[in-house]
């Protein structure tokens, strides 16, 4: 009887190892990490480029209002007949603006400033070309902002990898909100005309 107790203890201690052999956890399974090499593909890369023209379904799943293929194409490219579209192709509501605020603060604010005025620590230390104030671009179309995010603009890279379709338009809507906020007076006075700012 006396030897039974240590034996039971030993079984408990080793139990963990024994079961892990049978019950392999996903994090320990063989898999490729980002940028890892692979013998399987001719180019030696594990990361694959999606076939040209393909769009992950979930991009549109978040935008059920876009059903028509032409509408979807406009929403995806931000262009109609090659030109940036005048207005957002999706409905702007509180949820979209909240999403836009979150994503703008994460992805854009470090350069264009939290207020969109181009004031940021990064901007102060940039030598090549400064991130412009987005507040001075009120006359630009909604599509202009989307295209800049989607395709990049001059030295600014594309942020389509960081933001999905809905998030990109959400950021455009939020930039519009920042522009509107700049012109809003809380003292009942008329907004200052652009030329006097
Ligand atoms: C790493 C810094 C950086 C980040 C992050 C960044 N930008 Fe830019 N952005 C720039 C710079 C610099 C330019 C000017 C590029 C040029 O003129 O060559 C620019 C240009 C632009 C323009 C074009 C301005 C014009 O004159 O029409 C828009 C619009 C814009 N950015 C929006 C955004 C939005 C929206 C985000 C977030 C999704 C973002 N940027 C993130 C640095 C940045």
Distance 45 CA to ligand 1 centre (A): 31
CATH annotation of 57-183: 1.10.760.10
149 and 168 Cβ atoms separated by less than 8 Å: yes
29, 31, 33, 39: CA torsion to nearest 10: 150
Which amino acid residue places its CA nearest to atom 37 of ligand 1?
A: 108
Instruction: Answer whether 128 contacts ligand 1 (Cβ < 6 A).
Output: no
CB neighbour class for 69 (10 Å; exposed up to 12, middle 13-18, buried from 19) = exposed
Integer Cα distance of 176 and 144 in angstroms? 12
Integer Cα distance of 2 and 149 in angstroms? 73
Amino acid 196: pLDDT: 62
Amino acid 168: pLDDT: 96
Domain boundaries, the chain: 57-183
Nearest atom (ligand 1) to Cα of 130: 12
70 and 85 Cβ atoms separated by less than 8 Å: no
Distance 43 CA to ligand 1 centre (A): 33
List the chain pLDDT tens, one digit each, 197 residues: 455 555 444 445 554 455 555 666 777 788 898 899 999 999 999 999 888 877 776 678 888 899 898 999 999 999 999 999 999 999 999 999 999 999 999 999 999 999 999 999 888 888 888 999 999 999 999 999 999 999 999 999 999 989 999 999 999 999 999 999 987 877 877 766 666 65
């Amino acid at each position: 009887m006396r030897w039974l107790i240590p034996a039971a203890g030993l079984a408990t201690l080793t139990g963990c190892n024994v079961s892990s052999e049978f019950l392999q956890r996903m994090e320990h399974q063989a898999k490729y990490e980002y940028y890892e090499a692979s013998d399987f593909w001719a180019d030696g890369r594990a990361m694959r480029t999606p076939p040209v023209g393909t769009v992950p379904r979930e991009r549109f799943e978040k935008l059920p209002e876009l059903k028509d293929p032409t509408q979807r194409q406009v929403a995806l490219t931000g262009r109609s007949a090659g030109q940036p579209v005048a207005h957002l192709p999706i409905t702007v509501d509180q949820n979209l603006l909240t999403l836009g605020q979150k994503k703008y603060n994460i992805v854009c604010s470090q350069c264009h400033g939290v207020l969109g005025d181009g004031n940021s620590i990064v901007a102060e230390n940039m030598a090549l070309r400064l991130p412009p104030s987005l507040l001075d671009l009120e006359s630009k179309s909604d599509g202009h902002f989307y295209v800049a995010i989607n395709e990049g603009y001059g030295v600014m890279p594309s942020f389509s990898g960081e933001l999905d379709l809905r998030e990109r338009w959400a950021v455009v809507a939020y930039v519009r909100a920042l522009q509107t906020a700049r012109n809003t007076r809380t003292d009942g006075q008329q907004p200052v005309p652009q030329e006097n700012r």
